[in-house]
């Protein structure tokens, strides 16, 4: 893909992982970098994990791709440096784990609205450097989050506060 536009990826075969690595044994190339600004994976059969660096440096991606409810994990640096990402929402509520630095460097991200009742923690560096973030962050039904990692919101220069009452099981 060599120009900016809306693209839909239709996957009609079993796929359990999306990685950003070029040489996968099943031939999947990944989406690291590039000009895609929208992706849809809602019909991916058996997709359970978004691998590390899967969407790294996709600067034209403006929103999180639509994933099926079978996805339980988003790997380290999956959306690292996606500077055009404006909204972080619509993640499947089946997610139990984020890797470190998942949204690190997403400087264009202004809105976060997450409903992840199975997520266990917000790991180290999750939103590090998301300088576009404001205090309009909505975390609903985050009842299993027991920890927020080091630097999870570091260098979010426009973020003034986070309402920790949105995390009722957070260890204090």
45-78 confidence digits (pLDDT tens): 677 888 888 888 888 888 888 888 888 999 999 9
pLDDT of 35 reads: 61
Amino acid 25: pLDDT: 39
3-state helix, strand, coil in the chain (%, to 5): 0, 15, 80
**H or E element in which residue 75 lies:** none
In this structure, the number of other CB atoms found within 10 A of the CB of residue 54 comes to 25
Higher-pLDDT residue of 43, 165: 165
For residue 9, pLDDT beyond 90: no
User: Tokens 């404001």 identify what position?
Assistant: 134
> What's the pLDDT band for 27 if we cut at 50, 70, 90?
very low
- Predicted confidence band of residue 91 (pLDDT cuts 50, 70, 90): very high
The pTM (predicted TM-score) of the whole model is: 0.81
The pLDDT score that the predictor gives to residue 125 is 96
Q: What is the spatial distance between Cα 62 and Cα 87, in angstroms, rounded to a whole number?
A: 7
Q: Residue with structure tokens 């536009």?
A: 5
pLDDT at 17 over 70: no
Q: What is the pLDDT of residue 55?
A: 84
Instruction: Give yes or no for a contact between 74 and 43, defined as CB atoms under 8 angstroms apart.
Output: no
Neighbouring C-beta atoms of residue 6, cutoff 10 Å: 10
**pLDDT: which is higher, 111 or 23:** 111
Q: Characterize the bridge pairing of strands 17-18 and 49-50.
A: parallel
Between 21 and 171, the higher pLDDT residue: 171
How many angstroms separate the CA atoms of 75 and 102, rounded? 7
Question: Chain-wide mean pLDDT for the chain?
Answer: 78
């Amino acid at each position: 893909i060599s120009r900016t536009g809306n693209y839909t990826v239709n996957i009609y075969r079993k796929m359990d992982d999306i990685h950003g690595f070029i040489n996968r044994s099943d031939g999947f190339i990944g989406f690291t970098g590039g000009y895609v600004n929208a992706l849809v994976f809602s019909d991916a059969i058996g997709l359970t994990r978004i691998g590390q660096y899967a969407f790294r440096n996709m600067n034209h991606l403006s929103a999180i791709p639509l994933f099926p409810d079978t996805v339980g994990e988003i790997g380290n640096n999956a959306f690292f440096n996606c500077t055009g990402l404006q909204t972080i929402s619509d993640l499947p509520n089946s997610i139990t784990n984020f890797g470190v630095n998942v949204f690190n460097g997403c400087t264009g991200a202004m809105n976060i609205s997450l409903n992840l009742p199975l997520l266990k923690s917000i790991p180290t560096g999750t939103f590090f450097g998301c300088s576009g973030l404001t205090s309009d962050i909505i975390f609903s039904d985050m009842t299993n989050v027991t920890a927020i990692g080091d630097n999870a919101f570091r260098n979010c220069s426009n973020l003034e506060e986070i309402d920790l009452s949105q995390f009722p099981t957070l260890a204090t």
